[in-house]
Structure 1
Amino acid sequence: MINKDIIEATRYFAKIVELGSYSGVKNFYNVQINTIKSKLEILEKKVNIKLLKNENNRILPTELGLKFYHSCNSHLKGLESAINRVKDNGFEYRESIKVLGPPLFLSLLISRGLSKIQSLSNDKFNVYLDTYKSDSIREKKYNLETYSVVHIFERYLKYIDLDNWLICYNVDEKIIPAYFYCNKDLADKLDNSLDNLLDTELVLHHYDFTIKEFRAVSDNSHYKLNRNKVVYITNTEAQKVEVLQNDNVVGLMPEYHYEALANNQKIRKIEGFEIDYLVEPHYILVNINSPYKKQLLEIIRDGMKNIRVKYGA
């Protein structure tokens, strides 16, 4: 028989794996650290496994601890999901597909596949679109196993059990071209001039700060990106587009970002300049337990096909 101490300890252990500290679990569950540690000692004795280790000021699972996490975590999340579903909807069953990804991926999915996803069922059907910033999977808790589709960066694969997922496609680290964009009125004033561009204020996404220079296409001359001209810093590409539409600043983005977020008459490309843009390795995964896994694979692959062909991804 499994007593309540073991169940509580398993919940604490799963949360430590996700948050990397006892203090994070303390704040999440509003419980004392000594209580967490004593419960975990009981759990380790029960399963006869050393579950955790201290490494670089973070509490990390051991190799066997990580296997234990993957074996029990989906059951914990399934129980939580069932409770929340009944709380929110009673016992009325409604099929759903949940998608998790950064804002850009969701924008692409909405424009290229959402209508097809909605047509998968003739019954009452919910599609949940949940977003995260590219650096937040580590800090925040997402019940990944409850999602039908997940866009995840390679560095966070350790938080997911790939045995439960089908790889829709993956993209290795790659350099693709990006360009400068601004609102139409400013584009007319800049007139594709290098001097005017260098003297214009910028809006950058956090990720853009990895970019040091750009080049003029006409003679392949390289120029430093002037950080002193940065006046806006955003944490999503969509925010960057909003700023471009509403102020006289210049931003940079790959063409497929523009097509997904700003393909309208208000935003124009500044011709004659190009930036090397690093695409971080990432995966799009489909849950192997989804009853619509085959259809989801087809919809997403079809929606992203022209991007992959364009950049050879």
Structure 2
Amino acid sequence: MTDHNVRTVLPVQAILGEGPVWVAREQALWFVDIKSRHIHRFDPATGEARRWDAPDQVGWMLPSADGGMIAGLRTGLHRFDPADGSFTFLARPEGDPAGNRLNDAATDGAGRIWFGTMDDAETDMSGRVYRHAAGIVTDSGLAPVCITNGPAIAGDGTTLYHTDTIGKTIWRATIGADGTLGAATPFVTIEEGAGHPDGSVVDAEGCLWVALWGGWGVRRYDPSGKLIGTVRLPASNITKIAFGGPDLRTAYATSARKGLDEAALADQPEAGNLFAFDPGVAGVPVTPVAL
């Protein structure tokens, strides 16, 4: 069995840790705690951690090409200024229900943002996947689900993976040069008892890593959908991983305390922390958002 050297690197005990992203120009990891409305930045070289408060639930942070950061708040996309903690509105998905919030996101090689929304009450099939390009948000055309997750882009920029968390299915669609999607086809369905698929990311070998909510870890699938690896982590609710470090060969995983009762929290005191492990493969650099 491979030793992945799993460890806690930042004990934040997040209610709903999510959206880890490695920002290469800073050599730092950014992530959020959606329910606590917190934005976190972690510098693994120095161990320094910073935290900002967001004005609403914040689903993700992404670096922008102009050197700033873009935040996915419940109310839409905003520019975030770490210097003073301010937020400036950019765009929102028109017509998205008021009970929805933004949940997960990724950029493609052209700097477009692919992001999903979801019903905050986790009951209605109102979650959709959107594309942000040149300041405009458009519906991707993918079928609505209750909880969207893990928009992940293959390294060559031609494939998008989209997760229906409640349906326990990851879908795959081709991305055209103009950003339009081809028909979505099922890629992987998570079997009963293994948890629900949450965030995902593609590595440098084209394999998809999927975090498992209620599944105590992450899985790695090859491009054909075959399960080829599993890493167990010390918390049941793993939400997403990001590849980071100077060589993109360290995996960082966010986790959540949400939904765990006192007995469960006693059994997993590290729940909600930021973990790191050695995945044995490199990741793909994150393309900053083109504004």
Larger fraction in strand:
2
* Higher-RCO chain (CA-CA 8 Å, sequence separation at least 6): 1
Larger Rg: 1
Larger fraction in helix:
1
**Same fold flag (TM > 0.5):** no
TM range (shorter): under 0.3
TM value normalised by structure 1: 0.20
TM value normalised by structure 2: 0.21
